[in-house]
């Protein structure tokens, strides 16, 4: 299946490398990106600004209100797009894909524990076009999108960007409960625009630029906020997206989890309840690459069986609505 994203500007290898850098650190300065990539700073700044202004790449903050729940949804005939529009429109939805497979839509939602009953028993069944649903709470995250490395940068470039980034490696649940009013203002601004300047943040929050800088660093290091690029992987030459439901015996589950955690090409993976123990998301260049991944990846030897769904269109990615629903 091909990507639903329409390219507003032409993209070349340098553009993809800039996107790869922003995927690691969405707030990296153009000077730092140019130094790591070995390119001219003005060229990188011009190219990067064009990518952001076009909307092809969006840099935004991400928070995890609580450990998520995976939804596997079945829709009535001709109702998939309407159903996806409703699910993607929820503030609680982190991502939502329309798929060709055992389900019609697979999504992840994150809601406070206090809302669990109302959400699962009242709001979810009321989705227009929905005919059946399953909800599988996430037990543990193995990989999340900010850890994904799409292969456009060398290992050395990735390591250099990671070493200088303020970003912690794990996204903590709970997010902003302990933050002051000014910190919440900064947090909210970065959720909308992850590259807001310290001058803009200080003005919004009524604090000094030095204080704004320190607060952003603390939130990122503590895992209360992740700032990264949100982009359709097809822009990076990865036009085949797949969700892989993995079944494993209890005796092999930990070895499977360790193998998945160490694979930087896996964009997302979580251990879940239900008939399958792990859900994996990958983005690859072709169906042939997907076939090779399913038969040759190191984690496969620990899996008892898999069920693969190809993503047809995306309703929401990284907490941001996709063009697929327009």
- For the chain, list the domains and their CATH numbers: 13-64+148-231 (1.10.10.2890), 69-143+238-315 (3.30.70.100)
Q: Are 57 and 11 in contact (CB under 8 A)?
A: no
Give the model confidence (pLDDT) of 269-278 as tens digits.
999 999 999 9
Which residue bears the tokens 């909210």? 188
User: pTM to 2 decimals?
Assistant: 0.86
Burial class (CB within 10 angstroms; exposed 0-12, middle 13-18, buried 19+) of 229: buried
Give the model confidence (pLDDT) of 153-206 as tens digits.
999 999 999 888 876 666 666 666 778 899 999 999 998 999 999 999 999 999
Burial 61-76 (b: 16+ CB within 10 A, else e): bbbbbbebbbbbbbbe
What would the mean pLDDT of 25-50 be, rounded to a whole number?
Answer: 96
Q: DSSP readout, 12-54?
A: -HHHHHHHHHHHH-TT--HHHHHHHHT--HHHHHHHHHHHHHH
Give the model confidence (pLDDT) of 250-285 as tens digits.
999 999 999 999 887 899 999 999 999 999 999 999
H/E segment holding residue 86: helix 80-88
Q: DSSP readout, 216-254?
A: HHHHHHTTS-EEEEE--GGGGT--EEEEEEEE--HHHHH
Of 175, 280, 158, 161, the closest CA to residue 222 belongs to: 175
């Amino acid at each position: 299946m091909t990507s639903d994203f329409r390219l507003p500007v032409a993209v070349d290898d340098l553009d993809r490398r800039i996107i790869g850098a922003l995927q690691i650190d969405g707030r990296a300065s153009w000077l730092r990106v140019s130094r790591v990539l070995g390119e001219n700073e003005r060229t990188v700044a011009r190219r990067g600004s064009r990518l952001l202004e076009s909307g092809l790449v969006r840099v935004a903050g991400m928070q995890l209100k609580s450990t998520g729940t995976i939804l596997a949804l079945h829709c009535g005939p001709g109702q998939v797009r309407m159903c996806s529009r409703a699910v993607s429109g929820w503030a609680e939805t982190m991502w939502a894909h329309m798929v060709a497979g055992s389900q019609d839509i697979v999504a992840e939602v994150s809601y406070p524990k206090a809302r669990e009953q109302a959400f699962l028993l009242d709001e979810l069944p009321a989705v227009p076009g929905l005919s059946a649903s399953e909800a599988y709470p996430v037990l543990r995250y193995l990989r999340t999108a900010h850890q994904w490395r799409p292969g456009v940068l060398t290992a050395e470039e990735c390591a250099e960007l990671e070493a200088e980034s303020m970003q912690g490696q794990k996204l903590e649940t709970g997010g902003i409960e302990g933050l002051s009013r000014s910190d919440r203002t900064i947090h909210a601004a970065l959720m909308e625009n992850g590259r807001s300047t310290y001058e803009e943040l200080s003005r919004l929050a009524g604090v000094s630029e030095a204080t704004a800088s320190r607060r952003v660093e603390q939130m990122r290091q503590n895992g209360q906020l992740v700032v990264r690029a949100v982009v359709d992987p097809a822009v990076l030459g990865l036009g085949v997206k797949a969700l892989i439901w993995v079944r494993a015996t209890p005796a092999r589950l930990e070895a499977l989890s360790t193998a998945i955690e160490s694979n930087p090409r896996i964009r997302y993976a979580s251990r879940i309840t239900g008939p399958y123990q792990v859900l994996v998301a990958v983005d690859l260049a072709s169906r042939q690459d997907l076939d090779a991944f399913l038969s040759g990846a190191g984690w496969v030897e620990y899996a008892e069986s898999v069920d693969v769904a190809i993503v047809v269109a995306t309703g929401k990615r990284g907490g941001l609505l996709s063009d697929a629903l327009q």
